[in-house]
Structure 1
């Protein structure tokens, strides 16, 4: 069921009404419903919505976070030819 996205497609999902998507390691995550649960607050996630958040994600999180939430939030991958 995994879908492929271009960075431009992900970039259109940067508001709660259109959905909040982020890219982490070429995987696309829909964080719309998770934003309010985020321990660091929704504001931080809204800042990186629609973007490649890999650098910011790994700065503050370990592998355990993706193991816990990744399968629930992952909706696809960035197309190989269009990776950031």
Structure 2
């Protein structure tokens, strides 16, 4: 079973040193180890750390990106009803 995170849990991981969690469509991803690999650069990931990045993600990516990296980076889901 996937771990569930509150909005505050995600906010507490807003930097690379703390794990750099982001939310995409209620799924929580740990991006700290991916920052240097991100084709768009580290800056954008750091900007959305600890936040819901769904809008920004879907603006530049399609479903194939989640299929490629999702299993590796996903650490859980946002608790139902949790809002940032």
TM-score of the superposed pair, with normalisation by structure 2? 0.95
Corresponding position of 2:55:
55
For these two proteins, the number of residue pairs brought into alignment is: 84
Unaligned runs of 5+ in 1: none
Between the aligned partners of 1:78 and 1:48, the Cα distance in structure 2 is 16
CA distance in 2, matches of 1:83, 1:68: 27
* Structure 2, unpaired ranges of 5+: none
The residue that corresponds to 1:72 in the other structure is: 72
Which 4+ residue blocks in structure 1 deviate beyond 6 angstroms?
Answer: none
- Whichever structure has more strand as a proportion of its residues is 1
